[in-house]
Amino acid sequence: MAILKVNLELCQGYANCVVAADDVYDMDDDGLVVLLKTRVDESDRQRVETAAKSCPASALWLEDE
């Protein structure tokens, strides 16, 4: 299991993460990412990590639990 993290100060609202994994990421009314899940099963890790890496601002990452 991994923990999904976000640095909201870096988020620029590109929404690449939402496009790649809309069941994990969303955007709030201010255009900042919202994490719908913070714990990521190994079966979803690659998809969620790929979405996180698609962030041009590097605001998202996974940490091993």
Number of other residues whose CB lies within 10 A of the CB of residue 9: 8
Q: Mean pLDDT over residues 25-39, rounded?
A: 97
Q: What is the mean pLDDT of the chain?
A: 97
**Is 1:39 a contact under the CB 8 Å cutoff?**
yes
Per-residue confidence band for 63, with pLDDT thresholds at 50, 70 and 90: very high
% the chain with pLDDT above 70: 100
User: Any idea what the Cα angle at residue 25 is, between residues 19 and 29, rounded to 5°?
Assistant: 95
Instruction: Give the C-alpha separation, 52 to 29, whole Å.
Output: 20
